[in-house]
Amino acid sequence: MEFKEAKNKFVQSWGALGSQWGINKTMAQIHALLMVSNQPVSMEDIMDELQISRGNASMNLRALIDWGIVYKAFKPGERREFFTAEKDLDELAVKISKERSKREIKPALKVLKEVSSIEISGAEDEKHFKEQTGKLYDFVLKADNVLDKITEYRENWLTKLVMKIMS
């Protein structure tokens, strides 16, 4: 396998993976492309390499920037914008975790808190509902806090976590 083929394979696979994780294919592909690029890449080049339209490129780049994992970069003497991806993997993981927590876990917790707080009659099914959603609330809250803690570590948290767990 030579370079171009490998690069293409990586971009395609990363795109497929993205779509299983609630990130759309193009967004993941753009990110993949930027991750393995030495130099900042222009929108033109992205469109060209991924064979996508201008609008698509623009929208997904903006989304990646919103997620905080792609940055605008400027080249001296160049008018147009270039883009780079966050390349530090710890930093990347932290940013993605934070963003997903904010967008998905926090709202879910809100619902769980609400529904687990209903006043119930003595009926068995109502008791069970309240108990089960209550447990779920505690569980998700705890899991979310683990993410927060991890974020505090910043540097190399995964390595450190592995150490702790192995010990």
CA distance 31 to 112: 33
Q: How far apart are the first and last CA of the chain?
A: 40
Q: Which amino acid is at 36?
A: V
| Contact with a copy of itself (CB under 8 A) among 44, 62, 106, 162 | 162
By beta-carbon proximity to DNA, the closer residue of 66 and 126 is: 66
Instruction: Kindly tell me which of 54 and 103 has the beta carbon lying closer to a copy of itself.
Output: 103
CA distances from 18 to 11, 24, 25 (A): 10, 6, 6
- Tell which positions 104-163 bind DNA, by CB under 7 A: none
Task: Find the shortest distance in angstroms from Cβ 165 to a copy of itself.
Answer: 5
Nearer to DNA, 44 or 148 (CB): 44
Give 23: exposed, middle or buried? Use CB within 10 Å, 0-12, 13-18, 19+. Answer: buried
Q: Is 48 in the site for DNA (CB under 7 A)?
A: no
SS (H, E, C) 18-76: HHCCCCCHHHHHHHHHHHCCCCCEEHHHHHHHHCCCHHHHHHHHHHHHHCCCEEEECCC
* 15-44: contacts with a copy of itself (CB under 8 A): 17, 19-22, 35-39
Q: Which residues, 109 to 148, sit near a copy of itself by CB under 8 A?
A: 111-112, 114-115, 118-121, 123-126, 128-129, 132-133, 135-136, 139, 142-143, 145-146
**150 lies in the site for a copy of itself, by CB under 8 A:** yes
**Member of 51, 55, 80, 166 binding a copy of itself (CB under 8 A):** 166
Chain-centre distance of CA 48, in angstroms?
25
> How far is it, in rounded angstroms, from Cα 131 to Cα 109?
15
In order of 3, 155, 156, the CA distances from 8 in angstroms are: 9, 31, 29
Give the binding site for a copy of itself (CB under 8 A): 1-3, 6-7, 9-10, 13-14, 17, 19-22, 35-39, 87, 89, 93, 103-104, 107-108, 111-112, 114-115, 118-121, 123-126, 128-129, 132-133, 135-136, 139, 142-143, 145-146, 149-150, 158-159, 161-162, 164-166
- Footprint of DNA on this chain (CB under 7 A)? 19, 24-26, 42-44, 51-56, 58-62, 78-81
